[in-house]
Each structure stands twice: as C-alpha cells, then as structure tokens.
Amino acid sequence: MTTSAKAELPMLTMDPLASGPYQDDLVQVVREDPAARPQRVPPIVRTEHFCLRRCDRRLEVSHWLKPEQLDADIGGLLVDELFAPGWLTGASVFERVFIGVARSTGDDPLQSWIMFYENTLARIHEYWRVPQRDPRQSWIADGAQVLQRVLRLVPAGEVLDLGSCLGFLPLLLVERAQNTVTASNISSGAVRLLAAVAARRRTPLRTLVCDAAFVPLPDDAVDTVTVIHLLEHLDDQEGHHVLREAVRLARHRVIVAVGSHHESNAARQPVRGFSRDRLIEMGMRTGMRFDAEEFDGGWLVIHVG
C-alpha cells in the first residue's frame, strides 16, 4: 500500500446552515474585506487565499474568496495552503474551517451553499467536456472521473445512495431524468443541507438520515444501491454490514467504489485500503455474480437476483 495526500469533502457533523459567522470555542472564520484597514493582530501566516491569526483563545481564519470561487475545491485550497504545511491539523478543524468558508462567502448561509453546489456541478460538467488535471489538491478533478463512471454503471430506475456525503452523485443522477433517487447519510447536518439545496433548485430528490448498515427500508426497496468511497472509512466488520445491507435493499445491482490505497487527507483518515483480490473476496462472500476491477481505485458491481 502507498500513502498520499488527497483533497476530500468533510462529513458535516456540524450545522452547515447556522446563521452568522462560524465561531466556536476553537475556531472562527470570517470573510475579509480587502479594502478594510489592516487588523491590529499580526497574522501567523498569510497565503494566497487565507490568513491565519490567533485572537484570544481562538484561531481566526479569514479569507477573501469571491462567490465564483466557491466550490468543492476550497477543500484543496485549505489542504494546500494551511493543512499540508502544518499551520492547521486535524479532521475536526478541517470541517469547521471548510463550513465557515462556505457559509461566509455569500449573503446568507443557504445562498452561499447554493453557489457552492451550482459552481461545483458546473465545473464537474466542464471537466467531463475538457478533462484537465489541476496541479493543486482538487476534489473536482478526482471526483469527476469517479462520478462519470458511476453514472455509466447505474441503469434507469430507483436508486439509493448510501453515505452520500454532500450529495453530488444523487444530484447528478436526478439531472439525467431516468432515475428516482434517495440520498442517505448518517450526518443529519449533511442531509438537511442537501434537502435545502435540492428544494431551492427544485430538484426531486428524496433524503434519509440513517446508518448505512441499518437502513429503515424494506427488502428489495430500489433497483440499484450505490456505495461510493464509503467502505474505506469503515473497518472490516462495519464494511461487511454495509455491503450486506446494500444487497438486501437492491433488486438488481449494487455498485461499490473504493480507494485502492491508504490515502491520508485532512477531512477523514481512511481505515483501510483495497486491492482487487480484496474486492473479489468481498464479492464472493455475497454468493452472487459480480464484477471486480481496478479503475481510479477499486470497483465492485454485484448483480443481485
């Protein structure tokens, strides 16, 4: 196995839609007016997009991002400029700063998140038209390839996405008008945000707060279940329960995508990596026909029934 740094999205265990600037006992995040007078507190470090200061007992992260710059790659900017150099550390701090930056770029939190989603989806589509590798840590560059492959593998019909994170896959599935989609996540904050964004965009998306190993739906509830870059964040027993639940819920197909190596990132530390042999072992444990391959990570497609 290898180890590498990778930009990723936070789990959003905190409320992404709370009003006002982000502030807690450890971190506060503010949008800085470039025309304002310099603050009296000297910076610890000032980068291309961020300034880090110590204000009393808190760390203050200020930024001057414009609305058109707000997308999923703010995670990459944070990794490159603040976390990889060691100015900030830890998944919890990453989540707090990510949410703070996203919430503070627009006039109100929901409007900021709407811009975040619209910009990200537009740049995913742009990447599909003209693939370009961003030299920075880029979730969009990495994620667009995975999302495109999932869309090719998912047939028409009802889809349940387990561990939806911020929900870009469910939104893209709904866009193509051949799927009815339910996005699920154990994080109530992430589900609340996705539901609010979908409602504002008039996107017919269902949402569900649940543990991916214990989904409150009947057997054979949907045609296809997707489990995309979730299992690498779970231990073997938890992953087994999630895969068993996915097979229970699917009438026809379960699609699993995982990272093939141990990859360290500021958002979440994966518990394990996967090889093709490991995917084959997982497929055989289901007792069903399956396909396993390596393509920008590992892929397991289980043919149910």
pLDDT for 28-65, tens place per residue? 999 987 666 666 688 999 999 999 999 888 999 999 99
Q: What are phi and psi of 62, to 5 degrees?
A: -110, 155
Q: Residues 95-123: pLDDT tens digits?
A: 999 999 999 988 789 999 999 999 999 99
pLDDT of residue 71: 96
d(CA 137, CA 8): 9
pLDDT of residue 137: 65
Provide the token pair at 137.
Answer: 């840590």
Amino acid at 78: L
Exposed (0-12), middle (13-18) or buried (19+): which is 171, by Cβ within 10 Å?
buried
Nearest Cα to 136, choosing from 62, 47, 67? 47
**If pLDDT is split at 50, 70 and 90, which confidence band does 274 have?**
confident
Beta strand 179-185 with 157-162 is parallel
Mean pLDDT throughout 171-195?
A: 96
pLDDT of residue 265: 59
